Structure 1
Amino acid sequence: MTRLRPALSGILAAIAGIAAGHLVAGFLDPAASPVLAVGSTVIDLTPTPLKEWAIATFGTNDKAVLQGSVLIVTLALAAVAGLVSRRRLAIGVGFLVLLTGLAGAAALLRPAARPVDAVPAVVAMAVGVATLVWLARLTRTASGDAARRTARAAGATSGRRGFLAGALGVTALSILAAAGGQLRSGAQAVKKVVLARPTDPAAPLPTGLESTVPGVSPLRTPTASFYRVDTNLTVPKVDVDSWTLEVDGMVERPFTLTFAELAALPLIERDITMTCVSNEVGGGYIGAARWLGVRLADLLDHAGVTGSPDQVLSTAVDGFTISTPLAVVRDGRDAMVAIGMNGTQLTDVHGFPARLITPGLYGFVGATKWLTKLTLTTYAAEQAYWTRRKWATDAPIKTSARIDTPAPLSTITAGRTAIGGVAWAQHRGVGTVEVKIDDGPWQQTRLGPDVGIDYWRQWYLPWDATPGLHRLSVRATDRAGRLQSSDRATPFPDGSSGIQEVVVTVA
C-alpha cells in the first residue's frame, strides 16, 4: 500500500470535520468555526512587525491569506495523522483529536466566548475521526503469503475502487456542508432600522473636485468603498433588538441603553475623515463619510464622571477592546457613538448597530466597531488590545497628502493635465498643499472645498506635462503652519510619516 491513500485519508478526514464544524457554527456563532477560531488566535499571537508586514504586503486580502495558511497547515498535519494511522490507527485518531481539540480551545479562549462555542470543534472531531477510521478500513487490501498473490491483487483493485468512491463521497458531502455553513452565516442579515433626523445636522456637502479633475478621490467616500481594517475574520451579526450599550466604570450613575433608547437621544451629524494607523504614506486606508450619532461627552455627562479616570475603554460585542484618552473626548471635538453613515444605518462591516468615532485619532484608539460597552477607567488599571501590544496610547493622525492622479508608474499623454489628490490634518485642518515636479521648486496647489478641520481636502495642480520620466512629490501644511514630516516612519507605533513620491512616464 502506498503512502498516498493514508495521507489523503487524513486530509479528507480533516476537510470533512472542518466542513461539519463550519456548518454547525453557521447556526451557533460563525466565529466559532474551527478554522476561524484558530485564525483569530493566530492573529492575537502574531508579533506586531509580522502583522504590519502582512497588511502592507497583502492589503485587504490579509485575512484571506491568513485563513488559507491556517487551512494549509491544518491539512498538512492531518496528512501526517493519516500516514501514522497506516500502522497505528489509534495514534492517527489521537493526532486528529488533538488538532480539533486545539480548535475548540481557541474558540473558548476568545474574549466573549460561551461554552456553546466549543460545539463546532466537537462536531469536527467526531466527523473527522469517523471519516478517518472509515477511509482507513477502505484502504486495507488482502494480504498473505505468495500463494495468495492473485487474491491480494484482486483485493487491492477492489480496495482502490472502494477508497476512490469513499473519497469522492466525503468530498461531495464536505462541499455541501461548507457551502451550507457559509450560506447560513451570510443569511444572517442585519435588521433594517429607521433613524431619526439629527437635532444638530451638518451643512450640505459642497461639490467636490472629482467632477472636474478626473482621478481625484470623491469628496465623500461611498460606504461600499470605505476601507475596513480590523482583527475579525468574520463580521459580527448583531441582533439590534437584544443589543445594549452599557456605560460603567468610574461613574456615579452607570446605565444601559437599548438601541431604541440610544437612537432617541439628541443626534449630531458630522462630516469626519477616518484614517487607519496601518495606512502607509500614500495608502488607501482612509475614508471620508457623514456620520450620525450621539455625542460621547453627553453620555459621559449623563453617567457622571467620578474619581480620576484617564481613558474610555470601549468594548465590542466579541470582547475586543480599544482605549481612548478621556482628555480627547472632553476637549470639545465631536466624538460620538455613531449609528448612521452616509445617510443610512451602519452596515455590518462598518460596525452595526453602533460604533465609536473620534475625530483626529487613528482608528485603533478611537473607532471601536460593534460597540457594546463604555468603561471609564485608567490606563494603569486596564489595557486594551493594542495597548498591550505596545502601540501608542495617544495617537493623533499625522498630517499627510496623497497623489491620486496620475497613478504611480502610469503612462500619460504629454500636454495639459492635472496632478491631484487629497490631503488631511484631522482636527487641525489643511492649510496648503504643495507639489514638486522632479527637482523643481515646491508649487502651491489649488484646494477643493473646505468641509471643516476634521475632513480631508481635495487639491490639484495644472501641469504642462513634457515627454519623459518624471518624479512627483506632494506635501501638506496644517492651518497652524506646521509642515507634514518628511521623516520616514513605519505605522508602528503611532502612524507612518514621510513624503509621497510617484514616478510617471509622459509619452
Structure 2
Amino acid sequence: MSSESTTTPPSAGLSRSQRLGATALWAGLGVVSTLLGMAAAHLVAAVTTPSASPVLAVGSQVIDLTPTPMKEWAIRQFGSADKIILVGSVIIVVLILAGVAGVLARRRLALGAGLLVALVALAAAAAVVQGSVTDLLPSLVAAVTGVASLWWLHGKASATKAGSVARTDSSQHPSRRGVLIAAGALAAAAAVLGGAGRFITNLRTGNVDITLPEPASPAGDFPEGLGDEFGQITPLRIDNEDFYRVDTRLDTPVVDQDSWTLTIDGDVERELTFTFDDLLEMDLIERDITLTCVSNSVGGEFVGGARWLGVRLTDLLDMAGVGDTADQIYSTDFDGMTISTPLDLATDGRDSMIAIGMNGEALPRAHGFPARMIVPGLYGFISATKWITRITLTTYAEKSAYWTDRDWATDAPIKISARIDTPQPLEQLATGETIIGGVAWAQQSGGIDKVQVRVDGGAWQDAEMGPEVNNDYWRQWFYRWDASEGGHTVAARAISGDGTTQTPARAMPFPDGASGIHEFRVTVG
C-alpha cells in the first residue's frame, strides 16, 4: 500500500523521542524544499527583475500595508537595519510554514505541496501588485522547484523506516542517512543558486562608470573639515557608500541610462522628453547640499552632506512652460512611486536640480541612477525622488502622491537641528578634558551660525564651529568639556544664521519631521 493511501498513522508504534525525531526530519524536508525554491526564484529574479524575488515582493507589500506608526517605530528601533530585519522576518515566517508543510507531507504529500503552493501564490500576487504579470516568473519557478523537491524527498523518506512504520524491514529500503544526504544535496544546491543570484544582482547593481561633464556653475573649493583630532565627529562630506538610504524599496533598482527618459507633462505649454544624453549636454550646476529624511529622529543617522551635479529644475520647467494652475510637482519614478513637491518652494530661487552626479561620480544606483530630484531645505519624502522618470505639473486637489495618501505633510521644510556624535549615550568617559561634538543643519534659514552645549541643565555655552560651506550644508562643531566624576547630562542646540533657535518642543517624525533637543546621559570616572 502506498504512503498516500495508508490509513495507519505515521507515528504509530514509535516512542516519543522517535516521533519528535521523525517530525523534525519531515519539517526539515519542507524547509530544504522551500529554500531550494526560494534560491531558484532569486536567481531568476536576479536575471530579470530583482524586486520580483518572492521574499522581496512579499516584503514590499508588507511595507505598503504597514500603518505609519508601526513604520516609524521600526525605523526608530532598528535604524538603517529595518529592511534587513523585515526581510529576515519574512524568511523566518516562510521557513516556519515550510516546516509545517513538510510535516503535513508526511501524512499526505498533497497537503504539504498545497501549503507550499499557497505560500508561493501569496508571493506571486505581491509581485503582480508591485510590478506586472511578467514578474510572475520567479514565483512560478519557486513553486515548481519547491514542490518537485518535496515530492522527491517525500518519496525517499517514505521508503525508510522513519518515514513509514508499516515497513519493519528497513534494510530493503533507503536508509535515513540516505534521506539526509539527499536533503543535504538540495540544501547545497540552494546555497549555490542563492549565491549565484546574489552575485548576478551585485554585478547588475554595481555603480556605472560614466565620465561626467564639467559643471557650468561649479561649487568651488571644499573645506577640509575638523580633521583627525575630531575623528569621532561625522565627516564634513559623506562618501557615497556611507550615505544614508531610506526609501520603500527592498532591492536596488537597475535602470538603463540608454533607454531612460524624463518626461515633463501636465499643466505645461509643451510636453517634453529628455534622454540621459540630453541632460549631459545641458548647463550643469554643482552644489554642496545636505539631505535629510523626515523619518530622522532627534539625533538620528538619516542625514548627510554631499556634492551634487545636475540640471537646474527651473531650466527644465522653463523649457516646458509651466501653466497658471499648477501648485504641485508630481514626480514619478521608474516603478510608479510618486512624490509631491510644492511648486512655489522648488522654484523660489534655491538650487533645486535633477541630479546625475554625486561626489564627483555618476549617481550610485542605490541613490537614484540615472537621475533624481533634489530640492534643498525640504525633507526627502517631498523633494528627493530617486530613479525619476516623469514630472507632472498639477494641483494637490487633482493628484495625491504616495506619502500624501498616508497623511504625511505636503509642506515640510527641514527643521533646525544639532546632533551629538561624541560622546555616545550612556558612554563611560574618563575624567578631564572631553570633546563634545557633532554636526548641525539649518537649511533655508541662513545656515548654522552657532551651536550651544549644556551640561547638567546649566547655562548654554557656545561651541567652537567647524568651517562653513554654505547655507544648504551642515556644519561641524565641538565643545571642550572638563568632565568631572559622576553621571552627567549633555545636550546641544543649534542657532541659524537668521537668529532662529532650535526648538526644545518634542515632536515625532510624523507628519512633518521630528524636533527637540538631542540630550542624553553619560558616566565619567
Letter in 1 for 2:474: W
Q: Report the Cα offset of residue 126 of structure 1.
A: 0.7
SS of the residue 1:339 aligns to: strand
Distance 2:104 2:430 in 1: 64
The list of structure 1 runs, each at least 4 consecutive aligned residues, that deviate by more than 4 angstroms after superposition, is 147-150
| Kept after mapping to 1: 8 A contact 2:356/2:371 | yes
SS of the residue 1:51 aligns to: helix
2:296 to 279, 286, 290: 279
SS of the residue 2:437 aligns to: strand
2:114 to 80, 94, 115: 94
Letter in 1 for 2:134: V
Q: Which moved more, 1:27-36 or 1:198-207?
A: 198-207
Query: 2:480 matched to 1:462?
Result: yes
| Kept after mapping to 1: 8 A contact 2:290/2:305 | yes
| Kept after mapping to 1: 8 A contact 2:156/2:174 | no
Rate the CA distance shift 1:412–1:365 in 2: closer, same or farther, 3 A.
same
Q: Report the Cα offset of residue 211 of structure 1.
A: 4.5
2:415 aligned partner: 398
Query: 2:217 matched to 1:200?
Result: yes
Letter in 1 for 2:427: S
1:173 aligned partner: 189
Matches within 5 A, 1:135-214: 135-141=153-159, 150-151=168-169, 153-154=170-171, 158-188=174-204, 189-214=206-231
2:364 to 333, 347, 350: 347
2:47 aligned partner: 27
Letter in 1 for 2:319: H
Letter in 1 for 2:31: I
| Kept after mapping to 2: 8 A contact 1:190/1:238 | no
1:378 aligned partner: 395
CA displacement, residues 67-86 of structure 1 (integer Å, 9 cap, x when unaligned): 11111111112222222222
Query: 2:103 matched to 1:83?
Result: yes
Letter in 1 for 2:208: K
Q: Which moved more, 1:463-472 or 1:42-51?
A: 463-472
Q: Which moved more, 1:43-52 or 1:479-488?
A: 479-488
SS of the residue 1:268 aligns to: strand
1:302 aligned partner: 319
1:70 aligned partner: 90
Query: 2:450 matched to 1:432?
Result: yes
Query: 2:25 matched to 1:5?
Result: yes
Letter in 1 for 2:232: G
Distance 2:479 2:47 in 1: 55
Query: 2:464 matched to 1:450?
Result: no
1:133 aligned partner: 151
Q: Report the Cα offset of residue 184 of structure 1.
A: 1.0
Letter in 2 for 1:191: V
Q: Which moved more, 1:51-60 or 1:415-424?
A: 415-424
2:243 to 199, 210, 226: 226
CA displacement, residues 299-333 of structure 1 (integer Å, 9 cap, x when unaligned): 11111112411211111222222111111112111
Letter in 2 for 1:467: E
Letter in 2 for 1:205: F
Q: Report the Cα offset of residue 212 of structure 1.
A: 4.8
Distance 1:215 1:64 in 2: 26
CA displacement, residues 224-279 of structure 1 (integer Å, 9 cap, x when unaligned): 22111111111012211111111112211111111111111111111111111111
Q: Report the Cα offset of residue 447 of structure 1.
A: 2.1
Distance 1:142 1:349 in 2: 50
Q: TM-score, normalised by structure 1?
A: 0.94
2:274 aligned partner: 257
CA displacement, residues 412-470 of structure 1 (integer Å, 9 cap, x when unaligned): 33333432221111111223221111132111222222222111122222322223322
Q: Report the Cα offset of residue 57 of structure 1.
A: 1.2
1:123 to 127, 141, 144: 141
Distance 1:366 1:149 in 2: 69
Q: Which moved more, 1:75-84 or 1:225-234?
A: 75-84
| Kept after mapping to 2: 8 A contact 1:430/1:456 | yes
Give aligned-pair identity as a percent: 53
Rate the CA distance shift 1:148–1:121 in 2: closer, same or farther, 3 A.
closer
| Kept after mapping to 2: 8 A contact 1:210/1:217 | no
Q: Report the Cα offset of residue 291 of structure 1.
A: 0.8
1:46 to 60, 66, 73: 66
1:494 to 503, 512, 523: 512
Query: 2:253 matched to 1:240?
Result: no
Distance 2:433 2:142 in 1: 63
Distance 2:333 2:175 in 1: 53
Q: Report the Cα offset of residue 38 of structure 1.
A: 0.9
Letter in 2 for 1:28: T
Q: Report the Cα offset of residue 150 of structure 1.
A: 4.3
Distance 1:504 1:88 in 2: 61
SS of the residue 2:366 aligns to: coil
Q: CA RMSD in A?
A: 1.9
Unaligned runs of 5+ in 1: none
Rate the CA distance shift 1:84–1:254 in 2: closer, same or farther, 3 A.
same
SS of the residue 2:470 aligns to: coil
Distance 2:109 2:134 in 1: 30
Rate the CA distance shift 1:69–1:148 in 2: closer, same or farther, 3 A.
closer
| Kept after mapping to 2: 8 A contact 1:190/1:237 | no
Paired positions, count: 500
Letter in 2 for 1:62: D
Distance 1:505 1:99 in 2: 51
Rate the CA distance shift 1:138–1:203 in 2: closer, same or farther, 3 A.
same
Q: Which moved more, 1:11-20 or 1:160-169?
A: 160-169
Q: TM-score, normalised by structure 2?
A: 0.91
Distance 1:381 1:204 in 2: 44
SS of the residue 2:64 aligns to: helix
2:129 aligned partner: 109
Letter in 1 for 2:243: F
SS of the residue 1:209 aligns to: coil
SS of the residue 2:174 aligns to: helix
Unaligned runs of 5+ in 2: 1-9, 11-21
